[in-house]
């Protein structure tokens, strides 16, 4: 991985997952109209479902917990992002079960950081960054599991309509139930030994 910005200031200004969920709930319950409201509403339901699945499906072994000692997770996300609603709950639960700090920052308020983690030149989210005790990035996962990314890229190459791509990705996430997300995020911990 190329040299990237130290993440300390993002951990200091980032929010925890409960605050993120509270922010989403407050936004949805507001009477104001805002861009992407239907996506925020849908993704809140997805996150609640994925929180339950993550709680049951993530097991952190003693050796994995030891490898993650003094590590941290920073997640770049937005509430309107469908992939984020499928991935953030698992990344957070890994952090919780490993007893490490997890913070979230909003992509659109942190574009200078996001620009260091572009996917094919785009600001694709979420980005899950594993950092060491000095807030130095070790590795990152973005924006979706490899199989889902390959599916999306193939459909884009085939000029599949955007709505159909979203539907097929949702079907993929539903059938996978977080398994590949967990596997790929946990693979980052192997780099810490």
User: Is pLDDT above 90 for 33?
Assistant: no
Give the pLDDT confidence score for residue 119 in this predicted structure: 95
Q: What is the mean pLDDT of residues 43-70?
A: 94
Q: Give dist(CA 133, CA 21) in Å, integer.
A: 26
DSSP for 123-156 reads --S-EEEEE-TTS-EEEEE-SS-HHHHHHHHHHH
What pLDDT, in 10s, does the model give residues 121-172?
999 999 999 999 999 999 999 999 999 999 999 999 999 999 999 999 999 9
Question: Phi/psi class of residue 178: alpha, beta or left (left: φ > 0; alpha: ψ in -120 to 50)?
Answer: left
Q: Give dist(CA 120, CA 69) in Å, integer.
A: 32
Fold of 8-143: Glutaredoxin (3.40.30)
The rounded percent of the chain whose pLDDT value lies above 90 is: 90
Give the pLDDT confidence score for residue 193 in this predicted structure: 39
């Amino acid at each position: 991985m190329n040299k990237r910005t130290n993440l300390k200031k993002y951990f200091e200004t980032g929010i925890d997952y409960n605050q993120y969920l509270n922010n989403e709930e407050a936004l949805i319950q507001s009477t104001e109209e805002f861009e992407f409201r239907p996506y925020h509403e849908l993704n809140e339901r997805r996150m609640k479902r994925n929180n339950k699945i993550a709680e049951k499906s993530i097991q952190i072994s003693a050796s994995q917990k030891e490898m993650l000692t003094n590590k941290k997770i920073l997640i770049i996300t937005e509430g309107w992002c469908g992939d984020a609603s499928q991935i953030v709950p698992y990344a957070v639960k890994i952090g919780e079960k490993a007893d490490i700090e997890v913070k979230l920052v909003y992509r659109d308020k942190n574009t200078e950081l996001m620009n260091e983690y572009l996917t094919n030149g785009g600001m694709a989210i979420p980005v899950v960054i594993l950092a060491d005790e000095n807030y130095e990035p070790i590795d990152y996962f973005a924006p979706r599991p490899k199989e889902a990314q390959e599916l999306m890229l193939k459909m884009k190459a085939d000029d599949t309509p955007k709505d159909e791509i979203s539907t097929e990705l949702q079907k993929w996430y539903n059938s996978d139930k977080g398994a590949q997300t967990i596997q790929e995020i946990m693979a980052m911990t192997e780099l810490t030994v």
